[in-house]
């Protein structure tokens, strides 16, 4: 990932690093812009970035030291989420203002003091107004940062690299010497606790005089005393100097003599931190001292663990116009689709309505003939009804005569029909035959009946025939009679089985 880091932390200096961050950090280019108080340094910065074609990279910003305020709170034990929720209120009450702030914080582990669990929280914040103004300035000059990382983050990272393999107990005072300003940062182990800045008289190419050195020592001691007042039983055992390389050696020896702690000049293990510098850098030590905060910040970015004062709402505010445009476009598309749907459906409805109107017209034309058709239809129905009425007697009598004749033809000697009943039924008549069969045994009587029934069923005009109540009785004595035959002496008295039956059905006229 290639990024652009712009370090505004030092007044009158803007340090810019283009770096490639992977498992190592490769500084591809580094440059600095010096400006005076009334200069339009944003313009210079924009021009420089445009010239180097760096504006398309994701931009990380270290804001001006003065812009970022700090506040340390001792809070009772509570979840981190809750700390974040109460901090704006706490800051406002500590500063006595009601300005909304953009903040981030770090916290130490819980400590128990007089059986009460406490947590020390260091909050870093910028007022909303200031940060928006700052971001607007950047935006106006084509710079759209994605993170605002306070200087403390870079210093913490530097301290972490320096403290490795060293005693972790006790605090460290970081003394950043730049031009005529000394910035002091006191850390409890790796946890930032206090910052202070003061100026000293500086004339280039001149050595610091005794008075000025004494004043510096007094200021440093005063800061340490202030720290000790707030953090009883805590001592600072190390002073770490960095910044203006030309002053560092002198000041180191002076501090060693006058401060009750070890004084070291900060050195960054480039191999250890896997930072590679541009080939154009001739004096590595000077480069490291000069870009120390920026390098420390890069280390934090690499670890993806850093304080960020970039306001989410600013990003949302930035995105809002795009969102509105996107929403409008999608709304237009949806309304367009719905409108097309309405037009399409209306078109279909219209075409159906037109067709319906057309068909209705032809239907009404035809419908006018309906009365005549209906009359003719009724006349014809009446005619067929009357015709049937007139023809019925002859048809019926002929069919009955025919049925009786055919019945006599299929009735064998053994079949005795005792009763035939015929009832007219529309265009057919219903018949009911009752009788019995004399047989030598049940099987013969049954087969005789079946033969008769089958023949009856085969009559062309019969369309429904049923047999029921078939039962077999023991033989009875006496003579039997059959229609159309006077007497059959051959069977009389010798049969042993009588099979009584009833057959009904419909006969078509």
Partner 1 sequence: MKNKFLIGRIISISILIFIIFLYFILYFFPSLKSINKYKREIKDLNLRITDFIKMETKFVFSDNREKQVFKDLDQELKEIIPVVKSREDYLNLFMEVSKEIKNWAKIDNVYNLIITSSSDELEVSASSVSSDKKTITELLNFTTTRLHQIKTAQEINNQGINPDPTSNIGPTTPGPQLKFQKVFLTFTGELPNSVSFINHIPWSSRYIRPDKISVTEGEYTPYFLVYIKIYYSDLRKGNE
Beta carbon nearer to partner 1, 164 or 349: 349
| Contacts of 232 by beta carbon, 8 Å cutoff, 6+ apart | none
Beta carbon nearer to partner 1, 235 or 384: 384
CB of 484 to partner 1, least distance (A): 5
CB of 361 to partner 1, least distance (A): 10
Beta carbon nearer to partner 1, 114 or 357: 357
User: Do the beta carbons of residue 273 and residue 25 sit within 8 Å?
Assistant: yes
CB of 314 to partner 1, least distance (A): 10
CA distance 31 to 45: 11
CB of 392 to partner 1, least distance (A): 7
CB of 90 to partner 1, least distance (A): 19
Beta carbon nearer to partner 1, 161 or 461: 461
CA distance 443 to 455: 18
DSSP line for 312-364: HHHHHHHHHHHHHHHHHHHHHHHHHHHHHHHHHHHHHHHHHHHHHHHHHHHHH
CB of 148 to partner 1, least distance (A): 16
Locus of tokens 């000293």: 200
Q: Which two tokens stand for residue 425?
A: 């039924």
Residues in the chain: 509
Beta carbon nearer to partner 1, 170 or 424: 424
CB of 398 to partner 1, least distance (A): 6
Dmax (CA) of the chain: 172
Give the 3-state secondary structure of residue 485: strand
**Residue 435: enclosing H or E segment and its boundaries?**
strand 428-439
CB of 358 to partner 1, least distance (A): 9
Pairing of the two strands 111-113 and 69-76: unpaired
Beta carbon nearer to partner 1, 116 or 372: 372
CB of 319 to partner 1, least distance (A): 9
CA distance 96 to 98: 7
User: Do the beta carbons of residue 17 and residue 30 sit within 8 Å?
Assistant: yes
Region of 439 (left: φ > 0; alpha: ψ -120 to 50; beta: rest) is beta
CA distance 183 to 176: 5
Chain CA centroid to CA 342, Å = 30
Beta carbon nearer to partner 1, 363 or 463: 363
User: Do the beta carbons of residue 121 and residue 94 sit within 8 Å?
Assistant: no
DSSP line for 410-431: H--TTEEEEEEEEEEETTEEEE
Region of 426 (left: φ > 0; alpha: ψ -120 to 50; beta: rest) is left
Binding site for partner 1 (CB under 8 A): 312-313, 316, 327, 330-331, 334, 338, 341-342, 345-346, 348-349, 352-353, 355-356, 359-360, 362-363, 366-367, 369-370, 372-373, 376-377, 379-380, 382-383, 385-390, 392-394, 396-398, 400-401, 404-405, 408, 416-426, 481, 483-484, 486
Beta carbon nearer to partner 1, 8 or 507: 507
Beta carbon nearer to partner 1, 305 or 380: 380
CB of 116 to partner 1, least distance (A): 33
CB of 102 to partner 1, least distance (A): 10
Beta carbon nearer to partner 1, 49 or 87: 87
Beta carbon nearer to partner 1, 110 or 383: 383
Beta carbon nearer to partner 1, 191 or 459: 459
CB of 150 to partner 1, least distance (A): 20
Give the 3-state secondary structure of residue 201: coil
Angle formed by the axes of helices 370-410 and 442-457, nearest 10° = 150
- Which residue, 431, 438, 450, 421, is CA-closest to 481? 438
User: Do the beta carbons of residue 142 and residue 207 sit within 8 Å?
Assistant: no
Q: Which two tokens stand for residue 65?
A: 């030291």
């Amino acid at each position: 990932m290639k990024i652009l880091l712009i370090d505004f932390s030092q007044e009158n200096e803007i340090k810019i690093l283009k770096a490639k961050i992977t498992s190592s950090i490769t500084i591809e280019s580094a440059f600095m812009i010096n400006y005076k108080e009334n200069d339009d340094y944003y313009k210079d910065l924009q021009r420089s970035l445009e010239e180097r074609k760096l504006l398309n990279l994701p931009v990380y910003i270290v804001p001006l030291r003065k812009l970022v305020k700090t506040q340390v709170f001792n809070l009772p034990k509570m979840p981190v989420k809750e700390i974040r929720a109460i901090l704006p209120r706490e800051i406002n009450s500590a500063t006595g203002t009601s300005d909304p702030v953009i903040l981030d914080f770090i916290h130490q582990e819980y400590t128990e003091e007089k059986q009460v669990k406490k947590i020390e929280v260091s909050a870093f914040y910028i007022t909303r107004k200031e940060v928006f103004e700052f971001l607007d300035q950047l935006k106006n000059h084509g710079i759209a940062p994605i993170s605002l990382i306070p200087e403390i983050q870079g210093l913490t990272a530097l301290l972490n690299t320096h403290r490795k393999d060293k005693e972790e107990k006790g605090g460290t005072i970081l003394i950043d010497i730049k031009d005529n300003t000394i910035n002091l940062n006191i850390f409890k182990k790796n946890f930032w606790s206090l910052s202070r800045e003061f100026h000293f008289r500086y004339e280039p190419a001149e050595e610091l005089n005794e008075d000025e050195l004494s004043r510096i020592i007094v200021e440093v001691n005063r800061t340490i005393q202030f720290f000790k007042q707030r953090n009883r039983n805590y001592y600072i055992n190390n002073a770490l100097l960095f910044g203006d390389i030309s002053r560092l050696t002198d000041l180191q020896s002076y501090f060693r003599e006058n401060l009750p702690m070890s004084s070291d000049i900060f050195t960054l293990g480039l191999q250890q931190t896997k930072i590679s510098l541009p080939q154009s850098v001739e004096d590595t030590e000077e480069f490291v001292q000069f870009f120390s905060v920026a390098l420390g910040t890069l280390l934090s970015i690499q670890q993806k663990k850093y304080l960020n004062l970039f306001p989410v709402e600013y990003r949302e505010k930035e995105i809002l116009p795009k969102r509105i445009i996107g929403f409008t476009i999608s709304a237009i598309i949806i309304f367009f689709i719905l409108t097309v749907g309405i037009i399409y459906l209306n078109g279909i409805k219209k075409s159906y309505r037109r067709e319906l109107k057309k068909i209705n017209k032809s239907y009404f034309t035809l419908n006018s003939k309906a009365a005549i058709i209906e009359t003719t239809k009724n006349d014809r129905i009446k005619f067929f009804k009357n015709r049937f009425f007139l023809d019925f007697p002859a048809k019926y009598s002929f069919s009955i005569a025919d049925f009786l004749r055919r019945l006599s033809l299929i009735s064998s000697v053994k079949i005795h029909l005792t009763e035939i009943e015929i009832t007219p039924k529309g265009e057919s008549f219903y018949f009911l035959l009752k009788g019995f069969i004399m047989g030598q045994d049940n099987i013969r009587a049954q087969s005789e009946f079946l033969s008769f029934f089958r023949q009856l069923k085969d009559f062309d005009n019969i369309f429904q025939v049923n047999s029921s109540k078939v039962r077999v009785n023991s033989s009875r004595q006496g003579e039997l009679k059959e229609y159309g035959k006077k007497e059959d002496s051959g069977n009389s008295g010798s049969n042993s089985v009588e099979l009584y039956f009833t057959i009904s059905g419909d006969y078509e006229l």
